[in-house]
Structure 1
Amino acid sequence: MKAYYPVVLAAMIAAGCSTNNKSDKLETEQTQAAGTFGYDLAFLKKHKEAVVLSAPDNADAQAIIIPAYQGRVMTSTANGDKGNSYGWINYGLIENGQYQPHMNGFGGEERFWLSPEGGQFSVYFKKGKAFEFENWQTPALIDTVAYQVVESDASSVKFQINAMIENYSGKMFVIGISRKIHMLTKQNIADLLDLPELNGVKAVAYRSVNAITNQDEAWKPESGMLGIWLLGMFRPSDQTTIIAPFSKALSDKPLITDDYFGKIPANRLVMKDSTLFLKADGKHRSKIGIAPKSARNVAGSYDAEKGILTIIQFDLDPQGQYMKSTWELHEDPYNGDALNAYNDGKLDDGTQMGPFYELESNSSVKALKEGESITHRQSTFHFEGDKAALNAIAQKVLGVHIEQIGQIFK
């Protein structure tokens, strides 16, 4: 027996060392895997219930949706666990678990919000409060409230919630919200973007169908209406550029707002032909907006460093009414943007939530009678692969050459 104990002890020590080595190796591998879909999936599953969807015809095309974050698409990939993770995620805030004042910027490449943000019909400011940051508060309904899963399968999930929300003018809205996300097949992608084929690229895409139903008395323009606002946060880089095509068909001049946070330097915002290019490096706070008469139903970005082409396609009503969200009382509250794009940067006090950049689309609004709904659909596409193939997609959908995008800010 005396001989037995040293042998067992040695074996236990060896096993312990082996376990520690494996643990160290795993930790190293996880650190090296930062930026991949597998890393983000493990992180999110550790902190929240996660719904993982995959395309019906491609198991590597996946997306992660979090019910606790209002059915938010946190990230997606075209290449499985080892592939690039496209959504920006606020790891620190999620890990901390403590709600923040004003807004909880959890991240995610498509989240459901309501418009308008500012003005007499705002749902982010209480009646009589000045339109200043200290008074700005994202409603819990679109910030911290979990949405209930009512349907799901391997490639889709649907959420639903009933709620009440009051605007700056004192109008109480009684509404139902539904949101369905479903993964798109390669044929779906080709059909939606009018592409002949998807040869030479890896792709992932999903569509969200979002609806607000009025469950009370009719909405009236004089007391305010609600719109659907979809915002996507993505990972920036020094070589990422936002592409926002616009139309000249319905207006003599492009209806563009580019001074939300002051004038954007010329080396960060370029207008060329019928396209706006905004630098998306997460290093200078800047935002653009395009009115419905000038917007097109697509926008995108290109990361020349990683070779990632991202596109959003959304419902657009060029003659519709869109809520204005600037932080002031409005003479024309229904003359807002259909498309917005944002590059994150440091605030005046030196703090910064990101870095990230955003592509955003808005719905038009209507004076809904009880039982009536508005619906807003958006599809998000990511492509990686052969540069010539990416160029063909960019030309067809956005009207620009890949090489042109990469040279804009050089």
Structure 2
Amino acid sequence: MTKFLKVSTFISICFLMIVSCTKSPVKGSFGFDLDFLKTYQKTVTLTENNGKSQLVVLPDYQGRVMTSTANGLEGISYGWTNYDLIASGKFEKHINVFGGEDRFWIGPEGGQYSIFFKKGTSYSFEDWFTPKEIDTEAFSLESQSDTSVALSKKMNLVNAQGTIFNIEVKRTVSIFNKSEIEKDLGIELSENLNFVGYQSYNEIFNKGTKAWSKETGLLSIWILGMFMPSENTTVILPYKDSLALNTSYFGTIPPGRLTTTDKHVMFKGNGTARFKLGIPPRNVTPYIGSFDADKQTLTIVKYSFKGDTTYVNSVWRDQENPYGGDVINSYNDGPLENGDQLGPFYELETSSSTKELQPNEAIKHIHKTYHFEGDFETLNNISKKLLNKDLNEL
């Protein structure tokens, strides 16, 4: 018995020594964020590339991809996470900015067909409320595997005209393997590059008994990605043809914030000044992205676009052309008028077109996110191919 106790004590001491020597995940790493999210939320982790490529999905936060990594648990955590709000377990009044690099929303946000303003209210922050169905309510988990998770949600939304939309949302998040990334982007991934790629496949079904009408309002799918800001992050928005840039969302953009060339709109994604811009159908190219020079990380967003021109307009005012909205949006967070701030973060956003859906018809939107980190020249080759931008010029 004494011998057994000595052996047991020795094993316990060894275990404690191992635990004490084990490093806790560092803040800013994927492992840190995953541990944090597991503490407060039900999580679904998708994995590829022998565990180096990972992402975490939260069903209770509308199936959003909170964050991802290209280098396992110790790798960079790409998505912005609002630790304080999540840990509080409380809900805010107007919007719950939990974070996440692929979150599901529905447009339009502003205008006479908005689902964020009630009938007869003003276009002010005090009267602006995010519908609970895309803010605080959970999505149902339908199925999951190591590389994919499917979710759904039935909703009843009301717009500023009083139109009721009975809809069903279906959303599937999938992580890509190396060959799928190479095929989709037309590139070759070298050994000196870490990577992660995934997509959200989103559908909205008209579950009402009547067709939707432009005269009473339409809806669209809107995917927003919130990322970590820095002084050396540049948002890169390629465009084609004569630019019709929309800068009217939150007033005039401060002078010196944008750099516009004949092929790109760029700004520093540092989260210190609040503005938003949009690019309409006639100007869009297949990709948008950003580059963090400090972390040597290139982010690419690819999205479904088939040349449609009917996009909801989300500007906060009554509109002459409510279906002349943007395909691409990008937002830089900054202080509100009262000094409060949502983030800081910056956003890369894409939207689906809209249509007058018959009962049981659907609109869909695919939003793909890729992160690459490593050798600068390799990253630059990807940037030149997909964003048509030489990173040496930043």
TM range (shorter): over 0.9
Shift of 1:22: 6.4
* Equivalent position amino acid for 1:229 in 2: W
Partner of 2:32: 39
Cα distance in 2 between the residues matched to 1:198 and 1:311: 17
> What is the DSSP-based 3-state SS (H/G/I as helix, E as strand, rest coil) of the residue aligned with 1:191?
helix
Query: Residue 171 of structure 1 is aligned with which of 163, 172, 176?
Result: 163
Cα distance in 2 between the residues matched to 1:266 and 1:186: 42
Q: Contact 2:331/2:348 (CA < 8 Å) preserved in 1?
A: yes
- In the alignment of these two chains, the number of paired residues is 384
> What is the DSSP-based 3-state SS (H/G/I as helix, E as strand, rest coil) of the residue aligned with 2:281?
coil
Query: Are positions 1:354 and 2:343 aligned together?
Result: yes
Shift of 1:42: 0.3
Query: Are positions 1:231 and 2:220 aligned together?
Result: no
* Equivalent position amino acid for 1:247 in 2: K
Partner of 1:6: none
After superposing the two structures, state which structure 1 stretch, 253-262 or 221-230, moved more: 253-262
Shift of 1:186: 1.2
Partner of 2:357: 368
* Equivalent position amino acid for 2:107 in 1: S
Q: How does 1:92-171 map to 2 (within 5 A)?
A: 92-171=84-163
Q: Contact 1:288/1:342 (CA < 8 Å) preserved in 2?
A: yes
Cα distance in 1 between the residues matched to 2:190 and 2:204: 34
Shift of 1:172: 0.6
> What is the DSSP-based 3-state SS (H/G/I as helix, E as strand, rest coil) of the residue aligned with 1:257?
coil
> What is the DSSP-based 3-state SS (H/G/I as helix, E as strand, rest coil) of the residue aligned with 1:40?
helix
Cα distance in 1 between the residues matched to 2:295 and 2:347: 18
Q: How does 1:297-312 map to 2 (within 5 A)?
A: 297-312=286-301
Partner of 1:345: 334
Query: Are positions 1:48 and 2:41 aligned together?
Result: yes
Partner of 1:263: 252
Query: Residue 246 of structure 1 is aligned with which of 236, 239, 252?
Result: 239
Cα distance in 2 between the residues matched to 1:208 and 1:319: 20
Q: Contact 1:365/1:374 (CA < 8 Å) preserved in 2?
A: yes
Q: Deviation per CA, 1:53-91, whole angstroms, max 9, x where unpaired?
A: 012x44210000000000000000000000000000000
Cα distance in 1 between the residues matched to 2:180 and 2:316: 39
Shift of 1:311: 0.7
Partner of 1:327: 316
Shift of 1:258: 2.1
Partner of 1:395: 384
> What is the DSSP-based 3-state SS (H/G/I as helix, E as strand, rest coil) of the residue aligned with 1:52?
strand
Q: Contact 1:116/1:324 (CA < 8 Å) preserved in 2?
A: yes
Partner of 2:5: none
Query: Residue 296 of structure 1 is aligned with which of 285, 304, 308?
Result: 285
Identity, % of aligned pairs?
A: 42
Shift of 1:352: 0.7
> What is the DSSP-based 3-state SS (H/G/I as helix, E as strand, rest coil) of the residue aligned with 2:359?
coil
* Equivalent position amino acid for 2:230 in 1: S
After superposing the two structures, state which structure 1 stretch, 287-296 or 68-77, moved more: 287-296
Q: Contact 1:199/1:389 (CA < 8 Å) preserved in 2?
A: no
> What is the DSSP-based 3-state SS (H/G/I as helix, E as strand, rest coil) of the residue aligned with 2:355?
coil
Query: Are positions 1:222 and 2:215 aligned together?
Result: yes
Cα distance in 2 between the residues matched to 1:261 and 1:198: 42
Question: Would the alpha carbon gap of residues 165 and 259 (structure 1) be closer, same or farther in structure 2, given more than 3 Å must change?
Answer: closer
* RMSD of Structure 2 on Structure 1 (CA): 2.0
Q: Contact 2:200/2:368 (CA < 8 Å) preserved in 1?
A: yes
For structure 1, the 5+ residue unaligned runs are 1-10, 406-410
Q: Contact 1:293/1:319 (CA < 8 Å) preserved in 2?
A: no
Query: Residue 68 of structure 2 is aligned with which of 56, 71, 76?
Result: 76
Shift of 1:199: 4.4
> What is the DSSP-based 3-state SS (H/G/I as helix, E as strand, rest coil) of the residue aligned with 2:283?
coil
Q: Deviation per CA, 1:233-291, whole angstroms, max 9, x where unpaired?
A: 0000010010000111xxxx211112422332443210122101111011111211000
Cα distance in 1 between the residues matched to 2:276 and 2:295: 24
Query: Residue 57 of structure 2 is aligned with which of 49, 65, 75?
Result: 65
- Report the TM-score when normalising by structure 1: 0.90
Question: Would the alpha carbon gap of residues 170 and 396 (structure 1) be closer, same or farther in structure 2, given more than 3 Å must change?
Answer: same
Q: Contact 1:58/1:185 (CA < 8 Å) preserved in 2?
A: no
Cα distance in 2 between the residues matched to 1:205 and 1:19: 38
Partner of 1:3: none
> What is the DSSP-based 3-state SS (H/G/I as helix, E as strand, rest coil) of the residue aligned with 1:101?
coil
Query: Residue 276 of structure 1 is aligned with which of 265, 271, 276?
Result: 265
Q: Contact 1:209/1:375 (CA < 8 Å) preserved in 2?
A: yes
Q: Contact 2:249/2:316 (CA < 8 Å) preserved in 1?
A: no
